[in-house]
Each structure stands twice: as structure tokens, then as C-alpha cells.
Structure 1
Amino acid sequence: MSKIIVVGLGRSGISLLDYYSDRYEMVFAYENNQNIDISKFKKYENSNNINFFLGENPTGDEEADIVYLSPGISPNEDFAQKFIQRDICVTNEIELAYSIAKDANFIGITGTNGKTTTTSMLGDIYKKYDENTYVVGNIGNAVLSSISLAKTKANFITELSSYQLETIVNFRVHIAVILNITPDHLSRHKTMENYKNAKYNITKNQIEGDFLVLNKDDESIDINLENVKSKVIYFSMKEKLKNGVYYDTEKGSIISTINRKEEEIIKVKDIHLLGKHNIQNTLACVTVSILDNIPTALIAEAIKDFKAVKHRLQKVREVDDVIYVNDSKGTNIDSTLKAIESIDNDIILIAGGYDKMLEFDDLIKGFNGKVKTLLLFGATKKLIRDTALKYDYKDIISLKNLKQCVQIAKIIAQKGDVVLLSPACASWDMYQSFEERGDEFIELVNNLK
């Protein structure tokens, strides 16, 4: 009987338990969080092959045939390294899903920012073309959970974080997308080189006939293309490409020249998303869709129908001529800067959260006179405040929690202002996820009178 170890019982861990609950393998499930809601494990009461170890991690000395890590758990943890040194495979649920559905068409999207919007838009395009399409991965739906629902030859539009890409083994995507690279998750990866290498793992198992879609405008993407077997296709906001997809500023249109065939795909005025960065995200979606032979008329139709993703520049409500925008997905500095750039009104910015060991100089320098007041909460509020004062920005209020931030914003906001929750930080100091943080913001705003 095979012995399976699952570490971390969030969405991916639960998907693994669901898969193995009626199988012959013996499963040892670990969850280090002592405050986890154990009610979600009740459905396994009759599964005699699942053993729970709550409030602890394995030591690394246990017998195992394979170890599955939650994305939130680093393979550099001591216990994980012990398994690796013993030649025990340490991977994640995506790897298992891939091994089950090898006839599927996997599309992988990674990058520091824009993954969720791009994955969602691309999912909508593919669903118009083929209903046998599933939007999965870091976006919140475990890949493994969708495998049982899918027919053969399904499309899996997969958002991939650096955490997930760290532990893939054989997982291969037919089309890989790297949107951009900016500093993020350095508390986990320690260096930018490690962070980039995790992202570049998306190309690890690609073969001839696959594609790698890259942002031509991002000089930080320095992947060694000599090691890439797939065909590289670029998209660009700045350059008219001879074989790619670009934004033609004179025509106000997205143009494809893939296969040397010039074609206008969609007018930018027909894209219902804020900010230039979302034109880039749309360029990536168009590139992938054309490479996968989806008709261009259908691509344009799906993009025209697409609206903002929840928690990403989501307009929540207008109160007394003040607009409240939920950008809880803005979990790093570059993402928040893009949110600020996309708004033309004066901004009351709500920021702060988990400390990922980033510096906030670029955030403050990027205000460009748009941020009239900075409301801070969370673990990084002192660091952000000190950085702001260094640049002589003094319109700062430090508060205890998000509720206080919304209350103060309501008091100080003037007609025409935008109250923007875009924390530039992860949520883990006070919340389980950026979704939970965004949902609280939505509730607080909807309760304003």
C-alpha cells in the first residue's frame, strides 16, 4: 500500500484528500495551523485510509512514497528538505492532476501582476469556444478538483504562482505566459534570482510545438531562451511586432501579426477595464487565443463582454459622489502603482498588511500627486509611514484595522474622490486571504450610510 503525505489542508490539500478518500493508498494529512476549522474534515470520518495530524508538520523522517505540499509551504522547510534528501518526491496537487489528465490542454499564466485578470478573461474566451474549459490554479480552484468534472481533451486555463511552480516535476503547459516580473515574495524566495527561476519553471517541460508568450516591454524578464524548447511569441504596448500581438496607439486597436497575417482584433475603447496594464493583460489573452486557433471574432466578443474581476479594481459602490474601489488583489507595490495609475481622480489610498520584506520607496514615489491621503493598517503600517515621511509625504493616518480605515475615509472624502483599497501587501497578518480582506471591505462599504 502506497503512503501519501499531504502537508497543508487548504484548497489544494482538501482536493488531495477528496481524491484519495476512496482509494487504496494510506494518507497522512498534516496541518500546522492549530486554529483550523476541523468541521471541514467531517466528510472523511468514514475514510479509513486518511489519518490527521493537526497542529503539526511532519518531521521528514516518516515513510512516504510521495509528499504533497500546499503552495503556502516552502520546499525549503527543514522537513521538506529531509524528504528530498531521501529521494522522496516532494510536489503539489497540480502535478497529480496533470498525471491524471494528460490528454488535457493546459494553458499556464504566471507573472507578478495581472495573473487573475488574464486567467479570468482567457477562461471566458475559451468557454465561448469550448464549454469543456476550466479556470483553475492560484485563482482559487484546485486543478485536481476539476479533473473529475472534465471530459477528455479539456482546456485548463491555469493561474500559476511562483509557489506552485517551485514544486512541479513533469507538469507541462502547451502555452505558457509570463506577464511581467517585479519584486515580490522575497520573504519566501530570499532573492530575485530565486523568484524569477520559480516563475521560469513554467517552461520546464515544454516541448517543440508548445509556445511561450512573453511581454516584450518588460526588461526584467531575462529568461535564457537557449534553454526553452517552445516557440517564443511576444506581445507589446510599445512596438509594432512583425510576428506577435501589439497595441497600435494610432488606431486605438489591438493588432495581431501572428503568422505574418495582420489583423485588427478589437478596439481598446471596447475593453471594459481600467488602466493600461489591462491592455497588456488583454494582449496576452489575444496572443494565446490566436495561437490556439480560436476564431478572432469570438475572441473580440468575449473580451467585449468581460468585466473586472472581483478584488481587482472592482467598483464597489458610490456614496455621496465618492467612489469606493476594492483592489485587495493588489498585494505588491507594482500592482498598487498600476491601480493608482488607472484612476484619474484624487485618491484616498488604504494600504498595509503582511510584511514580505519589500521596500516601499517606489510606492511613495509613484503617487505622482494623485494620493491626497494615505490610510495605513496592518503589520507594515510603520514601515510605509516611515518611508513616506522620508519623501516628505505627510498626509498619513495610521489606524488599527480596515474598519477604521473605511470609517475615516468616509469622513474625509470629498466629492469626486476615489477611496481605493490597494494594500501593496499580502493579507496574511490579519486575514486568511486577499479575498477575505476584500470581502470585508465590500461589506464595510455597503454598510456605509
Structure 2
Amino acid sequence: MKVTVVGSGISGKSLALMAKRMNFDVFVTEQGKLDENTKTLFREKDIQWEEGGHTKALLDCDLVVLSSGISDKTLPVQMARKTGTPLQGELDFIFPYLSGKIVGVTGTNGKSTTAALINHLLSKMGYNVALAGNFGIPLANFAMMPLDFIVVELSSFQLHWTKRFSCDVAIITNIYPDHLDWHGSFEAYVSAKRRIIELLSPKGCLVCRAQDEEILQVREGRVARLYWSFEKFMHDAERVQDELVLNDSEALLRTEGGHIRLFPLKSLSLFGYHNVENAAMAMAAIYYLGCEVERAREFLPYFKNLPHRCEKVGEKDGVVFIDDSKGTNVASSVTAIASIPGVKVVILGGRGKGEKYDKLAGVIKKHVRAAVLLGEEKEVIAKSLRSAGFSNFYLAASMKEAVYKAFEMACPGDIVLLSPACTSWDMYRNYHERGKDFQEIVKNLIEACVVKNGRESN
């Protein structure tokens, strides 16, 4: 059988190598250029390719397989549809070759942290588990591997194409507008996320927030809805659905069989109430997988958050610095600002995604002492802040200027939070690079003697 893989990035390369291992005749088509290492690898594996554009050669196959991020608008998809050549997303192509129970984690924000935490807990409990997704390890790498569990971070791009990939436990962390340029509308984005529910295994379980169930059109099956204790929730003995209930001290899972204490909040090493939600969903997944919640609880305090996701960098003169460079959309930054306790000086800006900043401005007015704006979007954000009646902000020309100015504007006990609400592509290659730059500048500031409010800060 001949397959054409569209794209030669991390997931595309992994798909091509996996298909070759399964004895497919493989052809890769790439709009850009292949690097020399990839070409050498493809030659060694007898994988054919084309680069610098797509030709009719890609149609000489039985199936076109789409790597992560390939949209309906791309030429290979249009060519395949025009000729009737079958199309398949990467998840569906890989699914028949996977073993073990599958935990799928999706959502607008928090999916990487939640997936990594589930992997951490299962690994510490001694299970043979794999973590795949936006961690540099594509799912195709784990095909035909004997595993107890596979934890997969799933993007809306991947789910858009999914028709058969099925999870035993599905988690939707939250739903906010994102990737509207790719999907075309918020409705289409939600529809893609909803695929994880529609394709649950017959005995599968869903974990989501109560406030998202209407937009996700949650209807039947076993569902754990997450509530904070101040919200209205079901509590009658005959209820069908489970409840994941959080308060200021602990997380509980309420089932027909009784209450299960998941963890006390003080045991978490993560910043922010949004991470309490992530941890609660992760522990609910442990329960639904049939694993021991009490054992898993022991390992919660030892989980270190992923880089650039509300990561504490350091402290100087009572001011704490937190790196949330992964906050690349408005919803993510709003969550970080509102959920991390304390007064904040926030660093915002970068390249925008076409979002409005009205909600962000409202949260800043409520929770933030001052803001420092940088990047292409700083004037747009400044306009929204002025409209909301917030004027204590400063426009910086570089990350270094932004960090030093934020420290100057902060008071002892405050938090300087980098949570840009924008992509990094105007100044950096990715959010990792932006976060690393922020951290390096903060570390230099901590070691330096800085004049703050007219006095030297050591």
C-alpha cells in the first residue's frame, strides 16, 4: 500500500518513519525545504520525497496522511479531494497500532500541564506509560509499543480530522476562542474539540468544567463536571453524573459510590487556581483509569510544572518573578492574572492573534498594579487599557527594559508576571525563546545592584 505524508516537520517525519516500519511504500510532500539530516534519514529508509511545493506525484498513492497542523485550505487536501484520493489525519492513521488505555487531553489552555501531570503520576506509580503531543515526542513514535497507558495532548488541528481515534478517558480543560484563523470560526473550533467526546470508547469517561458543558453539548455517558464550591452543583443521591468539586482547601470527586478525597490544595507546588483545576482533572483521570488515587496523591507534591507555564523564576527584595510565556492568547493570560493570588505587575504584548483585549483590560484593572507593554501589539493593548480606565502602564522597547521597568513599578510582596496574551513571533522564534530571555534577564537583575524608587536595591 502506498501512502503520501503531507508535511516533514516533527509529526510528519515521525509519521513517515512509522509508515515505513509498517511496510508501507512512503512518499513525503513538503511545501518548504527539507533539512539535510532529514534527507539523509529518508534516503536510509528508502522514503521518497518532494520539496519546495506540491505536485501531482503526491496523488500516486492509496492514502494521503496529514501531519499535525495541515488545514482544509492546503493544496494537497484540495488536490486529493478533487481526485477522490482518501484523506486521513495522523491520529486515525496511528490509532490501530496503539496499545494500552488512552487518555486524551485537549482544551484551549492547560492541556500540556494536565497531560504531563497524569504522566508523572502514572510513571511514579510504576506503570509503563508514554506521553505524546506538544512535548517534542509525536504519537507515531509509540506505535506497536507495549504500554499500559498513553497520555496524549490533542490539538484542535488534530481533532479536526479525527473519525476513529478513541480515548478511554477524555479531558477538556477549558474552551475559549483560539486558532480562529485556522478553523474559520469559534463554532468550528468548538466542533473540532467536541470530537474527543463523540469518539469516546463505549465505557469511556469525560472530565470537563461545568461551565463548558453547554457549549460542548455534553449529553450522555459518564461525565465528571468540575465545579468550584461557590457554584451551584447537583447533590441529590440519584444523580447520574459525577462531580469534581473544588474549594479553597481541597479537591473532591463525588460519585454514586461516595466522596473521594483527591488532594488538599496545600500539597500542590503549582501557582494559580487554574492549576488546581488541572490537577483535579488529572487525579480524576487516575480514578477513571482504575488506579489508586491514594497512591497517586503521594506523588503530587513532586510534580514540577512545565517550563514557561506560571513558572517561578526567582525573587528580589520581596518581588517574585513568574514566567508564563506560554500565555499566548487572551484567555490564558486572563486566567493566569486572575488565578494567581497577590498584586501583580504584568508584562504583556507580542504579535496578536486578532483578538480583542476588552476582557483582559477588565481583569488588569481589577488585579494588576501596573502593566508593561511591548511588541507589535502594545499600542492596541494600551488603547484597550485606556478604554477600561486603567492608565498605570508603560510602553517598553525590549524585554530587558520591560523586566527592569516592571521591577521598578512593583512593591514588596508583588508579583512580576510575564503573561503576554500574544504570540512571540514579532521578537522571538517561539514562546520558549521568549521565556528563556525573560528568565535570563530576571536572573541578571537579581544578581545586580539596581536603583529602585531612588534607592539602591541589592
Unaligned runs of 5+ in 2: 449-458
Amino acid at match of 2:434: R
Picking from 71, 78, 83, the partner of 1:81 is: 78
Structure 1 residues 47-89: Cα deviation after superposition (integer angstroms, max 9, x where no partner): 3323241x43557973333333332332233442332343333
SS in 1 for 2:382: helix
Deviations 1:329-348 (A, max 9, x none): 21221211121123333322
Secondary structure, aligned partner of 1:257: strand
Q: Secondary structure at the match of 1:80?
A: helix
> Which structure 1 residue ranges, 5 or more long, are not aligned?
none
Residue in structure 2 matching 1:221, options 211, 215, 219: 215
Q: Deviations over 1:201-222 (max 9, x none)?
A: 1123324212222212336533
> Deviation of residue 98 (structure 1)?
1.5
Cα distance in 1, alignment partners of residues 142 and 389 from structure 2:
51
Deviation at 1:21, TM superposition (A): 5.4
The structural deviation recorded for 1:133 is 0.5
Corresponding residue of 1:405: 402
- Tell me the distance in 1 between the aligned counterparts of 2:441 and 2:40: 32
Tell me by how many angstroms 1:366 deviates: 0.8
Aligned pair in 2 of structure 1 residues 283, 60: CA closer, same or farther (>3 Å)?
farther
Is 2:102 the counterpart of 1:106? yes
Alignment partner, residue 155 of structure 1: 149
Maintained 8 Å contact 1:109/1:119: yes
Aligned equivalents of 2:243 and 2:66: distance in 1?
37
- Given the alignment, which residue of 198, 215, 223 partners 1:204? 198
Q: Distance in 1 between matches of 2:29 and 2:374?
A: 32
Matched residue SS, 1:91:
strand
2:87 to 86, 90, 114: 90
Structure 1 CA distance for aligned equivalents of residues 201 and 20 of structure 2? 34
Q: 1:154 deviation in Å?
A: 2.9
Q: Does the Cα contact within 8 Å between 1:181 and 1:218 map onto a contact in 2? A: yes
1:236 aligns with 2:227: yes
Distance (whole Å) between structure 1 residues aligned to residue 401 and residue 13 of structure 2:
35
Please name the residue that 2:455 is paired with.
Answer: none
The question of 1:317 aligning with 2:306 is answered: no
Q: Whole-Å Cα distance in 2 between the matches of residues 141 and 42 of structure 1? A: 20
Matched, 1:10 2:9: yes
- For the 8 Å contact 2:167–2:201, the answer to whether it is kept is no
Structure 1 residue 360 corresponds to structure 2 residue 357: yes
SS in 2 for 1:214: strand
Secondary structure, counterpart of 1:447 in structure 2? helix
The counterpart of 1:194, out of the listed 188, 193, 207, is: 188
Provide TM-score, normalisation by structure 2. Answer: 0.86
- Deviation of the 1:327 alpha carbon: 0.6
Whether the 8 Å contact between 1:316 and 1:442 is mirrored in structure 2 is yes
Counterpart CA distance in 2 for 1:399 and 1:37 is 37
Task: Note closer, same or farther for the CA distance 1:361–1:125 as it changes in structure 2 (3 Å cut).
Answer: same
Does 2:435 correspond to 1:438? Answer: yes
**Counterpart residue type for residue 209 of structure 1:** K
1:199 Cα deviation from its structure 2 partner:
0.2
- The alignment status of 1:390 with 2:387, answered yes or no, reads yes
Question: Structure 1, residues 90-110: CA drift from partner, whole Å, max 9, x if none?
Answer: 334333331211x32111111
Structure 1 434/84 Cα, relative in aligned 2: closer, same or farther at 3 Å? farther
Give 1:161 shift.
1.3
Q: Secondary structure at the match of 1:221?
A: helix
Is structure 2 residue 281 aligned with structure 1 residue 284?
yes
**Which amino acid in 2 is paired with 1:122?**
I
1:47-58 matches, within 5 Å, as 47-53=45-51, 55-57=52-54
RMSD: 2.7
Cα distance, 1:112 vs. partner? 1.2
Identity %: 29
- Supply the AA of the counterpart residue of 1:253: E
CA contact (8 A) 1:406 1:445 kept: yes
Conserved 8 A contact 2:329-2:422:
yes
Distance 1:246 1:436, change over 3 A: same
Residues 109, 115 of structure 1: 8 Å contact kept? yes
Amino acid at match of 1:195: Y
Query: Offset at 1:23?
Result: 6.6
In the alignment, structure 1 residue 267 sits paired with structure 2 residue 270:
no
State whether structure 2 residue 124 is matched by structure 1 residue 128: yes
Please identify runs of 4+ aligned residues in structure 1 that moved more than 6 A: none
AA in 1 matched with 2:210: K
Greater displacement, 357-366 / 306-315: 306-315
Distance 2:56 2:377 in 1: 32
Contact (CA 8 Å) 1:5, 1:64: kept in 2 or not? no
Q: Deviations over 1:101-148 (max 9, x none)?
A: 1x3211111111221121111112222334310111134421112336
How far apart in 1 are the matches of 2:376 and 2:69? 19
Q: Does structure 2 conserve the Cα–Cα contact (< 8 Å) formed by 1:248 and 1:254?
A: yes
What's the secondary structure of 1:27's corresponding residue? strand
